[in-house]
A = this chain, B = another copy of it.
Amino acid sequence: MTASAKTKQPDISLAVCGYSKVIEIISNKWTALVIYAIENGSIRYGEIERRIAGISKKMLTQTLRKLERDGIVQRHITPSVPPMVEYSLTLLGQTLLRPMRELRQWGRDNYMHVEAARMQYDFTYNKDSMD
Contact = CB atoms under 8 A, between A and B. Distances in A.
Interface of A is mostly: helix
Contacts of A72: 114
A114 B42 CA distance: 21
Nearest to A9: B50
Interface in A76-124: 92, 95-96, 98-100, 102-108, 110-111, 113-114, 116-118, 120-122
Given A18-B106, A19-B104, A114-B25, A7 B96 contact: no
Nearest to A30: B14
A102 B104 contact: no
B52 A32 contact: no
A130 interface: no
